[in-house]
A = this chain, B = another copy of it.
Amino acid sequence: MAIKVHGNPLSPAAQRVLLCLAEKDLEHEFVYVDLATGQQKKEPFISINVPAFEDGDLKLFESRAITKYIAHAYADKGTPLINHEDLKKMAIIGVWLEVEAQRFDAAGHKLSFEILVKPIKGWTTDEALVEQLQAQLTTVLDVYEKRLAQSKYLGGDNFSLADLHHVPIVNNLLKTKVKALFEERPHVWAWCEDILARPAWKKVLEGVKF
Contacts and interface: CB of A to CB of B under 8 A. Distances in A.
Interface stretch (A25-33, A84-92, A199-207): A84-92
Interface residues on A, range: 20 to 34
Interface in A135-151: 143, 146
A6 B62 CA distance: 31
A61 B101 contact: no
Contacts of A73: 87, 91
Contacts of A88: 58
Interface stretch (A63-71, A117-125, A174-182, A190-198): A63-71
B146 A65 contact: no
A61 B95 contact: yes
A21 interface: no
A111 interface: no
A188 to B, nearest CB: 16
Interface of A: 47, 58, 60-62, 64-65, 68-69, 72-73, 87-88, 90-92, 94-95, 97-99, 101-102, 143, 146
